[in-house]
Amino acid sequence: MKRAIIYYFMITATIVTISKQSVFAQSKPKPVDTVTLMNGNKIKGKVAGITDDAITFVHQGETLAFAVKKQEINKIKFASGRVETINEIKEQDKSGNQANKIPIQRNLVAVLPFTYIGQGGEKDEKLSKKVQSDCYNLLLKNASRFSIQDPMQTNALLARQGVNESNIESCTPGELAYILGAEYVVAGSVLVDHKGTTNSESGGSTTNSQRNKDGSKRTTFSSGSSTTREQYKTQVDLKVYVDDGRNISSESKTSLWEGEDAYKATLKYLVKRCPLYSK
């Protein structure tokens, strides 16, 4: 009888051990691919394909596939354990990111250079900085509850991190806020389209003939004035982001004004309707 009881406990213990091992095996997470980006962020899921300039990636727990450019990737650690380096991060870049780390200053607003597209669809870098300065001045006068970062400092901080007109779109609003140390980031664009020329005249032309006392004929002429005006269609977009990358305001307005700098009136209109504005 005692021997039977011992056998019973041994069999029970073996079953419990096997059950625990089975549960542990089932609960063990399935290995996934990990992609480390150039900014240090990591995304986990499945690398579904690789081309010459991008990878196709599916996030963990999702089914939708999207493309990630190779220029944004540092390395890929596959579920098998194999690591493939796409782009090396230089040691000076690693140390530089730490050295230039700026704490977020609450209530600080940074205005990015605007995208300015003039006649012919060409971008204009000089006018891009000009609109940035105009927006800064408007906020300086109409956003008294906030500190507004000087555009010279904004542009210098962007340049230190290698951010310029050609690659700024590869940065998220949250990343730009981190670079600038600002709680709020203002971004915008100006699209100017020349719609044509209008002429207006005042008065008219008259001819008056009279005879002098000596019998000679006297003729006088008079004419009105003519004014030529250039008409421009101006579209201005203005967006405000917070340091976690959320968009808290997005405004757009199209107007028809005289003169290529007519965007100023539209920009002023939008600034007064953004959440940073205060009387």
pLDDT tens for each residue of 173-226? 999 999 999 999 999 999 988 766 666 666 555 555 555 555 555 555 555 566
The H or E element containing residue 77 is strand 73-77
| Sheet strands (E) in 125-277 | 147-148, 182-202, 206-211, 217-222, 225-242, 247-258
Q: What is the pLDDT of residues 53-65, one digit of tens each?
A: 899 999 888 888 8
The rounded distance, in Å, linking the Cα atoms of 179 and 185 is 11
Name the segment(s) of the chain with CATH classification 3.40.50.10610: 97-195+229-271
- CATH class of the domain defined by 31-89: mainly beta
Q: List the Cα angle 137/138/140 in 5-degree steps.
A: 60
Give residue 241's pLDDT: 97
In sequence order, what are the beta bridge partners of 109? 148, 184
Residue length, the chain? Answer: 279
Give residue 26's pLDDT: 53
- Give 256-260 contacts, CB < 8 A, sequence gap 24+: 256/195, 256/231, 256/232, 257/231, 257/232, 258/229, 258/230, 258/231, 258/232, 259/230, 259/232, 260/118, 260/119, 260/192, 260/194, 260/230, 260/232
CATH of 97-195+229-271, one of 3.40.30.10, 3.40.50.10610, 2.60.40.730, 3.30.360.10: 3.40.50.10610
Give residue 32's pLDDT: 92
Q: Hey, how many other C-beta atoms are within 10 angstroms of the C-beta on 136?
A: 20
- % residues pLDDT > 70 (the chain): 71
The rounded distance, in Å, linking the Cα atoms of 234 and 256 is 6
The number of CA neighbours under 13 Å toward the Cβ of 77 is 9
pTM over 0.75: no
Name the segment(s) of the chain with CATH classification 2.30.30.100: 31-89
Contact 232, 247 (CB under 8 A): no
Task: Say whether pLDDT at 68 is over 80.
Answer: yes
